[in-house]
Chains A and B, each alone.
Chain A
Amino acid sequence: MFWNGKNGKNGGKSEGNGHHLIDLQGIRKVYDTGAVKVEALRGLDLAVRENEFLAIVGPSGSGKSTLMNIIGCLDTATEGSYRLRGEQVAGLTIDRLAEIRNKRVGFVFQNFNLLPQLTAFENVELPLLFKGTPARQRRERVELLFEQVGLSDRMLHRPVELSGGEMQRVAIARALACEPDIILADEPTGNLDTTSGRDIIGMFEDLWRKGHTLVLITHDPAIARRARRIVNVQDGTVVSDEAVA
């Protein structure tokens, strides 16, 4: 199966730096709005191992979104060290960061962020296009992904023709397209009804069981408890970090 190969693939490989997949040390992020400087992260440390299911919780303004942006290489830290699978991310070029996002990180957003003018199929195909996968492999891979998320009959629909739950499943298929090291989900159930939300979380648990590493950002304690580890961020630092029984 295509998405349970993670452990097998990397099991024997040294990850460097204590086998941490994500290793954040002393991360500071300062937003300079001109008049005032806002310190969103104040020397945050966080380490995530392979095949963890981690929830980052915290009130709004706590810095959890900033943290997700930094983990996902969508933004760079003002200060501190970030190693992703042993590779120092700080100071990489824009294109190298794009490549990391493309190959190592799969994003699932609260508002799905599907491109409206493309079909579901093309949305999932997009990261593979950016990666440079040949057409035939792309096609096979996308079809397989749609099978996995149970939307094979919706491939040629446009996002507006899909329900919220379906859109999020397309987004998950897209996140998985390039077999990423981490799946980063930012409030993935925030725009969904309870049933769809439960489905999506169930899907994440499935992925975790099959060897994926998941980082879930949420403010909902009920959803956070579905993860195996909860990191509580407040005022830009980690205030608690505990395993879920």
Chain B
Amino acid sequence: MKALSLIVRLFRGAAKIQRKRMILTATAIAWGTVAIILLLSFGEGLKRSLETGRRGLGESIVIIWMGETEKAFAGLPAGRPIRLVPDDVELVLEGVPELASASGEMHNWNVQLVNGRTALNKRVVGVHPAYRDLRTSYAQAGGRYIDELDQRLKRRVVFLGNELAKDLFGKDDPVGKTLLVADTPFTVIGVLQKKKQMSMYGGPDSDRATIPLSTFEAMFGRRYLSNLVYQPTSVAMAPVAKRHLMEVLGAKYRFDPADTRALYFWDTIEDAKMMNAIMIGIEMFLGMIGALTLIIGGVGVANIMFAAVTHRTREIGVQMALGARRVYITGSIVLESVALTFAGGVAGIGIGVAVVQALAAVQARAKSEAMEFLGAPTISIPIAVTTVTLLGLIGLAAGYFPARRAASVQPADALRFE
């Protein structure tokens, strides 16, 4: 320990002479550190923003639309339309063990909604109660979503999107109030919690009214589903679930389970995988820009270390004459380089964190959609680890080469150096 502290002291005296240059070098490192922290934090913020946006549609769900057969099957010609009915939801839940839950969905995109003197034509959808969890449609406090009893009793209850509720009821609490849906009185049971939704089909969830599927069927006289939403038991089981589902429905409607046109799948699990890959790409790109900035700072450190080594050649010669092994010479130079790098790094991390926090505060208050999409910059553990690792590597590299040069000189030559 004493040896280490002495070695540090050996260089501290000499460092005084170069203080100004050292401060500039540390500043360069601090700048690079701020850059890398900002870039990675914005990357992280964007990633989280995209992730919550994706969750707005639902977590690991698959949506099926109906198509036409493309292959002839069991004596039936190609080109038959396949139409699913509400009972098929129970059929697939029973027949496909890999399904965690499923819901049918029917759309009527132009229904008049009337509250007192306010009348709007909006989309109304009928769904099973499982839709709530599948499509992350949770009620605000004081309300609830459609439940099994509503579905069984074909109750005239309606769940409103948060934007739609505002348009119809203004600032009043709509829960418990009566709303005319296509001239039929419905009771409002809940309002959607505000959510970020990036993917959608048939408009955002915030701008629609939802009623039980059974009520929808009865009111609008529909037989066929617009689409079916399901969630496999796990992400790993998703392909198996899809295959089994095709087999079960293929057996009922007599189409080839390999017929890709009979049903259209929107697999958000696959989307999520791709998005993750893209995000990793973006993060690597941002990290690389930051790392390059930091490396420029590292070049500065290497430069000052080379100057320091030249400046202290004679002292190094004296240390060699006294029997300093190579590790003492190189070790102290590398140590100094790492210390210099970390001094800049610590300052940079401090400034970076402060800037990120300030920007996050600004972002939280900003109303612009672009800012919302960008997300609040966030510092995560991996960002901290990456930054510190990079700083360490740069410090080592910036010290290693000057140190190697210092140690390679013959002591006699070093002592002669003026």
Contact = CB atoms under 8 A, between A and B. Distances in A.
Contacts of B318: 113, 115
Interface centre among B314, B319, B321, B412 (most CB of A within 10 A): B321
A130 B322 contact: yes
Contacts of A122: 6, 9
Contacts of A101: 320-323, 411
A109 B416 CA distance: 11
A157 B234 CA distance: 74
Given A75-B410, A75-B412, A129-B3, A95 B325 contact: yes
Given A127-B323, A130-B325, A131-B323, A74 B410 contact: yes
Nearest to A175: B322
B14 A126 contact: no
Contacts of A74: 320-321, 410-412, 415
A116 B318 CA distance: 11
Interface string B318-354: 1111111110100000000000000000000000000
A178 interface: yes
Contact of A135 (B2, B14, B411, B412): B2
Size category, B interface: 20 to 34
Given A69-B412, A75-B410, A113-B415, A130 B328 contact: yes
Contact of A102 (B323, B407, B412, B413): B323
A100 B13 CA distance: 28
A155 to B, nearest CB: 15
A171 to B, nearest CB: 10
A174 interface: yes
A105 to B, nearest CB: 8
B323 to A, nearest CB: 2
Contacts of A135: 2
Interface in A106-131: 107, 109, 113, 115-118, 122, 125-127, 129-131
Interface string B1-28: 0110010011011100000000000000
A117 B326 contact: no
A102 B411 CA distance: 13
B10 A113 contact: no
B296 to A, nearest CB: 31
B12 A117 contact: yes
A75 B9 contact: no
Contacts of A118: 6, 9-10, 13
A130 B9 contact: no
B317 to A, nearest CB: 8
Contacts of A102: 322-324
A212 B193 CA distance: 92
Contacts of A109: 415
A184 to B, nearest CB: 9
B315 interface: yes
Contact of A126 (B13, B319, B326, B413): B319
A102 B325 CA distance: 9
Interface centre among B6, B10, B315, B324 (most CB of A within 10 A): B324
Contacts of B10: 115, 117-118
Nearest to A125: B6
Nearest to B12: A117
Interface of A: 69, 72, 74-76, 94-95, 98-103, 107, 109, 113, 115-118, 122, 125-127, 129-131, 135, 174, 178
26 contacts: A69-B412, A74-B320, A74-B321, A74-B412, A75-B413, A95-B325, A95-B326, A98-B320, A98-B323, A98-B324, A99-B325, A101-B411, A102-B322, A102-B324, A103-B323, A107-B321, A113-B321, A115-B315, A115-B318, A117-B14, A118-B13, A125-B6, A129-B3, A130-B319, A130-B322, A130-B325
Minimum-distance CB pairs A-B, first 7: A102-B323, A117-B13, A75-B412, A74-B412, A69-B412, A74-B411, A127-B322
